[in-house]
Structure 1
Amino acid sequence: MTMVITWEPSCPHAENDSLFYRLSIRDVIRNETSYYMLMNQKNHTHSHTVVAHWGGFYSIYVSTSLPGARSSRPAVCRGPVIPPPYDLTYNPVDGSFFWRRNRTLPHEILTNCSYVLYIARARNMSKASTYECAKPPLVINSLSLGIIYYAAVAIKDSHGYLSPRSQLIRVEKPLGDELVLSQSSVVGVSVSVFLVVVALIMVVGVLAVRHRRLARSFLTFANTHYDRSQGTTHITTDHNLDEDDDSPMIRGFSDDEPLVIA
């Protein structure tokens, strides 16, 4: 649980008893930086030992105490990895997640820790929602029906250090007997229903017009009669039909009169 940091002096042959080295160790997880002022050891290499934390991630810089001195390039170091949980499962019946803790988990973490569940729609876990609990199972009722999610879980100690995430699982809450429509689906269904209604209105209008014409034709036929005494036939026409108004009216005729067509 210790981290040994070594570096070489910028001027190995310079002897300056007043020279100090400034060591900066930034804890990336907790966003905290520790500073150490170390005396010149007059050696080819210098070293310093600090305590590392489970799950820690550190960025280390060193520079001399001289005015205008530049820091070294950062050295990155990780503390011991916290064993992650495993065997993450999801029960769609009650919306609960369950997992198992690693048997190699250190006792100092096990005595005071929590778990963080990550749920996202993207497989790369971007924009993941987090849910924290003391122990499994964890019930999540905010998942939408019929949507595919991805989930993973990590352990978190009392200082806020996290383990790697567990293996990713695919989660889907079944629709069951309920019908779920998205906003785009609702708009599409509404447009389809509107078009069907318009088509039905047009069909009903066409049938109504045809029925009206058929009724007038039947009325015209019913008003047509034959006069036996004069030997003529009278045909009644309806000027309200769609024929041109300039069409001549057909009147009765007899057999002894010539039929003249102009």
Structure 2
Amino acid sequence: MDTHSNKSSYRLTVLKPDTTYQVKVLTQCLNKLHKTNEAITIRTPEGFPDPPRNLQLTCDSNEDGTVKVSWSPPDNSHGLIREYIVDYSEDEVNDWTSQRSTKNITEVKELQPNMLYRFRVAAVTSRGVGNWTEIKSITPQKALPPPVVKATNISSDSMSFSLSSQTETKYYIVIVYWQFDSHVKESHTYNITQGEFKATNLTAGTVYEMAVWAHTSIGDSPTTLSHYQTRGTQPERPLLKVKALNQTAVECSISIDSAPLVYGVFYATSFLDLYRSPHQVQSTSLSLSVTVDSDEQYLFLARVVSPFLGPPSDYAVVKMIPDERLPPRNLHRVRVGKTQALLKWQPPFDTPDGPLTYVIHVKDVIRKGERDYKLTTKNNTVEYLLRGLESGGRYSVSVRLRNMTKEASFTLNTVPLPAPEALKILTENDHVFLFWKSLAVQEKGFNESRGYEVHVFDSVTKQTAYLGNTTETYFRISSLLVGHNYTFSVQARCLLGGQLCGEPALLLYNQQTGSREASHRDNHSRDMASVVVPVLFLLVVVVGSGLVALYIRHRRLQNNFTAFANSHYNSRLGSAIFSSGDELGDDDEDAPMISGFSDDVPMVIA
């Protein structure tokens, strides 16, 4: 039982009477549960016994005015039965006369003949007088035979009987008993006016006890007891789980391997009330919310109630949560970085009257460390910046009020260190060098003494190998095989058995074509390639087309110039004639002429 309190006393309320218990007290602090080996043994006092069973009344034919009364002990005595009390009175008279007996049989004498009397019996423990049996009546000196009961039809969920009596009967009283638990006996009572009776809503594979007696004008006949078992196999017990949501609501979850049925959830504040006068909620859903009256401690059980009354589940105990003991609501993360996280939640109830003090408990799941922080605020929405975290770490965060109440918790994963930038490769004769940019440039909190670790993936053997670690920003790799493609990865060195690592930077390397561009992720490199390759292809096409066009134009100009020179240059005379286009073909003696130069003299044309 969780006390929800820091007081040094507590009252246990859901104990069985006349039962021995061992009690231990554990101390729950903010971040640790302190156990103890000290235990005390207590025994609860006796309780009120259940009513005796199978009350029988018979007349003594040898003596006038004498009635023999017999009964069976109660199913649950809740203690040691000291004696039994037999009450009797004349019909329609409220004054009862008592007679005590230490056995389960006695005789009541000196009764008036031909007068109808009523009888009842109760057991007595140290707690007091228990519940009374059903009332039976009889007229002295008139012995009645018990009724005859015959089973006509028995199925998995019903039983039919025929009832008959040798005397004139007003009606029959039929009590159907069954037992799923060794300490609880359940029953249904029926008043039958005809000679046919059918009991329904029964459970398959269950033994039932039938107690039948006839009510006549001169009294009740002796009881006829018989046992019958329904057909089929008894269903499994359901599994019930309960959880207190607040001071008045309980969440119930039922698990059972059956077809859709109608379930009943029964609850009370004690074991006796749970079977005598429980509260009940019925539902076809396997998950439902039950509203209780107060913030006490409750016992719950669940069972099928239709189309049959199935076996009950085990008990479930729940302690309701008072208003001031509720956990914070809507706890979640708003923003998570490498070394800090912004948390947000709401108080257990809206608009608190005064400032509330919260305890934020942070447990490092990887390093097994724990820290506590306190925050006092009256706000209806609380934000808290959690600092001092580790990159790539995993934390369990819980928030609750300072007075040791229920908590709200979740798991937090911080952002790991980024991948090293500018990863490049330099190829030598028999080895290669990897170069990258230091993480300390972009991450101020990174310590170079942590270093880096290098891995390689061989695409031929499909294996990943660990090459080593270094505190420098370069790494020498040798013994590479010819014809193999490699993928190198560089990341911040992993701590605590590989649980705290940085993001890897990847570099694809082919010994025939050289290295490719480094990338942080394979997905990133593929995405870049899908964009760069088409662009480069279009660029090559455009440049090639331009070169072809320039080459064609150059050849045309060269051919034109050659034809022009051949038509105007006389290689034999070593001279050339140039004129304007209008004067071509005219014999003008004044036309300018360039002459007197040989092949080895440069010719300049302006």
**What TM-score, normalized by structure 2, do the two folds share?**
0.21
Q: Which has the higher helix share?
A: 1
The structure with more radius of gyration: 2
TM-score by length of 1: 0.42
